[in-house]
């Protein structure tokens, strides 16, 4: 299975659980590039700036890494004008915390998911954020360079691990 966008280092695909060599990359110095779904290079280490045309922004929260105090935690960078069409996350270790709620946001702390009690949003398994492919009006466009905000409210978390991603594309 090929994962996109792919990251290729020294001619070897580093994107998925298995690696495959891509022929034709004669520069085996410290170079890499990323491809979009159609195999077009969207980032080359020899270029100064990377502009994600279409792609996935992964994010991760872990109580052991980020803590669980009532706060807003930045989980990922979202470029200016990035339009988020879908977001989902997997709770591999259930969120625990008396009275705690969590929310996800881009332009505000709740535009990707309003504060939801962890008994609903923090149970083990897969969960969707507000942009869910079904309703185009739910898409969220970053109005400036932003961060994905994970807000803990109502009570502190004492455990939990989340991995997820935002799907979208860069606009004008």
Whether residues 157 and 84 share a domain: the answer is yes
pTM above 0.75, yes or no: no
What DSSP character marks residue 146?
A: E
* Best CA proximity match to 133, nearest among 110, 171, 170, 166: 166
For residue 69, the domain's CATH number is 2.60.120
Angle at 165 between CA 164 and CA 171, to 5 degrees: 165
Residues 84 and 114 in one domain: yes
- Domain containing 29 equals 6-44
The tens-digit pLDDT sequence of the chain (172 residues) is 344 455 554 455 555 443 333 444 443 444 444 555 445 444 544 554 545 456 889 999 999 999 999 999 999 999 998 999 999 999 999 999 999 999 999 999 888 988 889 988 899 999 999 877 778 888 899 999 999 999 999 999 999 999 999 999 888 8
Establish if 144 belongs to a structural domain.
yes
Indicate whether 86 and 164 sit together in one domain.
Answer: yes
How many Cα neighbours within 13 Å face the side chain of 85? 11
- At 65, is the secondary structure helix, strand, or coil? helix
Measured CA to CA in angstroms, residue 69 lies from 104, 148, 153 at distances of 16, 17, 9
Q: Is residue 94 a contact partner of residue 54, using CB atoms and an 8 Å limit?
A: no
């Amino acid at each position: 299975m090929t994962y996109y966008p792919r990251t290729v280092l020294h001619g070897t695909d580093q994107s998925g659980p298995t690696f495959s060599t891509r022929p034709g990359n004669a520069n085996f110095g410290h170079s890499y590039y990323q491809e979009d779904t159609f195999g077009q290079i969207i980032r080359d280490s020899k270029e100064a700036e990377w502009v994600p045309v279409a792609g996935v922004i992964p994010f991760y929260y872990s109580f052991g890494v980020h803590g669980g105090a009532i706060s807003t935690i930045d989980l990922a960078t979202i470029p200016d004008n990035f339009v988020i069409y879908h977001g989902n996350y997997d709770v591999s270790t259930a969120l625990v915390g008396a009275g705690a709620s969590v929310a996800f946001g881009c332009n505000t702390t709740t535009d990707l998911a309003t504060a939801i009690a962890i008994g609903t949003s923090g149970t083990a398994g897969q969960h969707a954020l507000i942009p869910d492919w079904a309703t185009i009006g739910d898409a969220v466009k970053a109005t400036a360079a932003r961060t994905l905000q994970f807000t803990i409210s109502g009570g502190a978390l004492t455990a939990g691990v989340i991995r997820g991603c935002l799907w979208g594309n860069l606009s004008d």
